[in-house]
């Protein structure tokens, strides 16, 4: 181990040690399952709390701090939010996001596609891949900060739920989301 450290810059060692100290919640000098669980829960709660701030969510997902998102960072963010995406689905999503095909997701690319996906995955409380009425209602109140009556909700829900199968899929959500924020 000492031989390997000889080739590592002191800044890199300091950064790793700072990260370790942040993860070591109980200060024991070792990482336990409890430490990792607390950190993961805290990170998910932080992302959920900041959903109305896409730039903040982007920085939270950019774990290596290089100003763009790597495939591993995108996958980790989606997994933390309960995404059940398989490798093929992830590749399709990542390819659709990476508009300039440079292998990284810029903030602009993130905001156009991934941010919507993160919001969708967060709203999907039962993690079944679609949004039911209760999840949509909660998202109007929490995310969009809309206080609406039942009639207004029904009208908005019908705008969202185009295929009339009872749930809102990601395509329906994205179409509605884009129309609300553009």
Q: What is the pLDDT along the chain (182 residues), one digit of tens a residue?
A: 444 555 667 776 666 666 666 656 667 777 666 655 555 555 445 455 555 677 887 888 898 999 999 999 988 887 776 677 788 988 888 888 888 999 999 988 888 777 777 777 777 877 788 888 888 887 777 666 667 788 888 888 888 888 888 898 888 887 876 666 55
Q: What is the pLDDT of residue 60?
A: 83
Q: What is the DSSP letter of 98?
A: -
Q: Considering the domain boundaries, does residue 43 fall inside one?
A: yes
Is there a single domain that holds both residue 37 and residue 108?
A: yes
User: What does the pLDDT read at residue 155?
Assistant: 85
Q: Provide the residue range defining the domain that includes 138.
A: 127-182
pTM of the model: 0.51
- CATH, residue 83: 1.10.238.10
| 36, 92: one domain | yes
Is 105 exposed, middle or buried (CB count within 10 Å of its CB: 0-12, 13-18, 19+)? Answer: buried
Is 172 in a helix, a strand, or coil? helix
> What pLDDT sits at residue 144?
64
- The 3-class secondary structure across 41-67, one letter per residue, is HHHHHHHHHCCCCHHHHHHHHCCCCCC
Instruction: Please tell me the distance from the alpha carbon of residue 182 to that of residue 111, in angstroms, as a whole number.
Output: 12
């Amino acid at each position: 181990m000492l031989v390997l450290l000889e080739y590592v810059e002191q800044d890199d060692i300091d950064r790793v040690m700072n990260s370790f100290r942040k993860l070591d919640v109980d200060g024991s000098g070792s990482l336990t399952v409890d430490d990792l669980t607390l950190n993961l829960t805290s990170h998910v709660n932080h992302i959920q709390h900041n959903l109305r701030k896409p730039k903040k969510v982007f920085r939270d997902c950019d774990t290596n701090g290089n100003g763009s998102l790597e495939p591993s960072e995108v996958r980790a963010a989606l997994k933390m939010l309960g995404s059940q995406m398989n490798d093929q689905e992830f590749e399709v999503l990542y390819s659709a996001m990476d508009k300039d095909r440079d292998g990284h997701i810029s903030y602009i690319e993130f905001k156009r596609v991934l941010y919507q996906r993160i919001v969708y995955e967060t709203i999907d409380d039962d993690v079944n891949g679609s949004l039911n009425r209760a999840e949509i209602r909660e998202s109007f109140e929490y995310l969009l900060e809309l206080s609406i009556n039942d009639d207004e909700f029904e009208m908005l829900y019908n705008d969202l739920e185009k295929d009339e199968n009872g749930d809102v899929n990601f395509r329906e959500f994205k179409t509605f989301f884009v129309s609300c924020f553009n």
